[in-house]
Amino acid sequence: MSDSYEFVVVANRLPVDEVTAEDGSRSWARSPGGLVSALQPIVRRQGGAWAGWTGQPGDAPEPFDTDGMHLHPVGLSADDVDRYYEGQSNGTIWPLFHDAVEQPTHRRPWRQAYEAVNRRFAEAAALLAAPDGTVWVHDYQLMLVPAMLRELRPDLRIGFFLHIPFPPVELFMQLPRRADILRGLLGADLVGFQRPLAAQNFLQLTGRLLGLDPQEEHVVVDGRTVTARAFPISIDVTEVEELAADPAVQAEARRMRTELGGDRRLLLGVDRLDYTKGIEQRLEAYGELLADGTVSNDDVVLVQVATPSRMRVKEYQELRARVEREVGRINGEYGAVGQVPVHYLFQSMNRAELVALYLAADVMVITPLRDGMNLVAKEYVAARHDDQGALVLSEFAGAAAELPTAFLVNPHDVEDLKRAITDALHADGAEQAERMKPMRTQVRDNDIDKWASDFLETLGTISEDNDKGLGG
Ligand code: ADQ
């Protein structure tokens, strides 16, 4: 069958963005990001397909081939975008799975749209996958897909990976129709999480809500074994290292430093503008350090790059307003003509610009209140081939478990934030190297290719065991 594929990726978004040229013509460009660059070679090698949304509301364009992948657009109407994507995914599940740092909103029409859209994705995967093929479903927008797909295609190997945290039992219990989500995930053979604790929370819930008998790393449901385990995601280390070694990128880093004020020490924040990222807490701590004279506008500058994200959702608009007000207040109070203590950029950057910033930064400040992993932390470490620079990292980012020699911090505690930033600023070259070296080794030894192959090899092995178990 020409239109059936051994390996199918299912994700909310396709790995391409539509770009409009100056003459108005439109084409597809591969989206930046580690996940796409890790999966694309696998998809290509296995003659694979990818089902996802284009990012634009309206009818789905016809399927097409690009970069050796078959792309199958799934259409979302404007209503679906409101209810499934901005509503249930980003207004209910996202905050609840991030410790409810913002209040989750519960709406019946959102749940209905989530189910309907998940079914559409499952049907697309069922259509694309070859007999006995492998389907890898991604993330919190599609948690019902594994079970829906298994019902349509019991022959498939199904893997699921959750990129965000999985909440503690008590918090998950708040979710209306919570058992549906568990049953949805249990349609997979392998459910992957960022952290072992997340896998444990999930397994525990299968006992509590579904009366199953979970074991350490698996649970049996309807005679099938479902494995739940951590696969901490990583980055494309080679890409970051190559950029960091590029003389043009290094020259850009030097230029940035000079423009930001000669020998002022540079603190850097790089985040999607999201309330889980702790940007307000970071600004509060920095403002207090300026206020109490621990740092001054003459010797320190903070560059905060915030990528616009989910800007139609009210909480994100409100966050933007609060962050921009605080930046204005700090600059108004502690700035001087021609020199301000915070440079705030509400924009996306290309990879080379980001790596130049990483090279220029003395202290990278990553302070999420909760984060599945946080790839920026790993990118910063990978870029620092000089073993210099200091990483302030929230204990509540998945990455903290792998990067214990960072300046770890509790972002809910402003005093602790101030302490960590000050310690990082005071670390001399020897201490910086002592902390950076083991982190660089860790990230180099565990890049995104290893992550993807670990997951897929595990999926292959457990599905074979399952087949044997059923056959015998
Ligand atoms: P995110 O919440 O988006 O990802 P993160 O892991 O930090 O968070 O990834 C962000 C990516 O976007 C990084 O590769 C970063 O370089 C890039 N980026 C950030 N700001 C940018 C800017 N201004 N311009 C250009 N690029 C920018 C979700 C989860 C995370 C998990 C990842 C992967 O919330 O916890 O690590 O998925 O599983």
pLDDT higher for 45 or 433? 433
CA 333 to ligand 1 center in whole angstroms: 31
- Write the pLDDT tens digit of every residue in 221-232: 999 999 999 999
pLDDT at residue 1, rounded to an integer: 43
Atom number of ligand 1 nearest to Cα 274: 2
- Whether ligand 1 lies within 6 angstroms of the CB of 377 is answered as no
Query: Is the pLDDT reported for residue 472 higher than 50?
Result: no
Average pLDDT of 385-408? 98
Closest CA to 35 of 457, 367, 455: 455
User: How many whole angstroms separate alpha carbon 263 and alpha carbon 286?
Assistant: 19
Structure tokens belonging to residue 84: 């499934």
- Whether ipTM > 0.95 holds is yes
Question: For atom 31 of ligand 1, which residue has the closest CA?
Answer: 373
- Whether ligand 1 lies within 6 angstroms of the CB of 376 is answered as yes
Kindly state the percentage of the chain with pLDDT values over 70.
Answer: 98
Q: pLDDT class for 469, splitting at 50, 70, 90?
A: low
Burial per residue of 228-244, b for 16 or more beta-carbon CB atoms within 10 angstroms, e otherwise: bbbbbbbbbbebbbebb
Kindly state the percentage of the chain with pLDDT values over 90.
Answer: 86
Tell which one of 272, 323, 381 to mutate to probe ligand 1, the residue whose CB is within 8 A of the most ligand atoms.
Answer: 272
Atom number of ligand 1 nearest to Cα 376: 7
**Set 189, 371, 447, 449: catalytic member:** 371
Tell how strand 26-30 and strand 16-20 pair up: antiparallel
DSSP 404: T
Known active-site residue 371: yes
User: How many whole angstroms separate alpha carbon 412 and alpha carbon 430?
Assistant: 30
Q: Is 390 helix (H, G, I), strand (E, B) or coil?
A: strand
Known active-site residue 3: no
pLDDT at residue 466, rounded to an integer: 76
pLDDT at residue 471, rounded to an integer: 35
CA 351 to ligand 1 center in whole angstroms: 12
**Helix locations, 267-364, DSSP H:** 279-291, 314-334, 351-360
Mean pLDDT taken over the chain: 94
- Write the pLDDT tens digit of every residue in 225-273: 999 999 999 999 999 999 999 999 999 999 999 998 778 999 999 999 9
Contact 171, 213 (CB under 8 A): no
The CA-atom distances, in angstroms, between 285 and each of 288, 295, 395, 419 are 5, 11, 16, 9
* DSSP string for residues in 140-187: GGGTTHHHHHHHH-TTSEEEEE--S----HHHHTTSTTHHHHHHHHTT
User: How many whole angstroms separate alpha carbon 200 and alpha carbon 202?
Assistant: 5
CA 307 to ligand 1 center in whole angstroms: 9
Contact 185, 146 (CB under 8 A): yes
DSSP 92: I
**Set 17, 163, 246, 423: catalytic member:** 163
Atom number of ligand 1 nearest to Cα 306: 23
Residue 20: how many other CB atoms lie within 10 Å: 9
pLDDT at residue 340, rounded to an integer: 96
- Whether ligand 1 lies within 6 angstroms of the CB of 373 is answered as yes
Atom number of ligand 1 nearest to Cα 350: 25
- Write the pLDDT tens digit of every residue in 21-72: 888 888 888 887 667 877 888 888 887 999 999 999 999 999 999 888 999 9
Residue 404: how many other CB atoms lie within 10 Å: 12
Burial per residue of 82-121, b for 16 or more beta-carbon CB atoms within 10 angstroms, e otherwise: bbbbbbbbbbbbbbbbbeebbebbbeeebbebbbebbebb
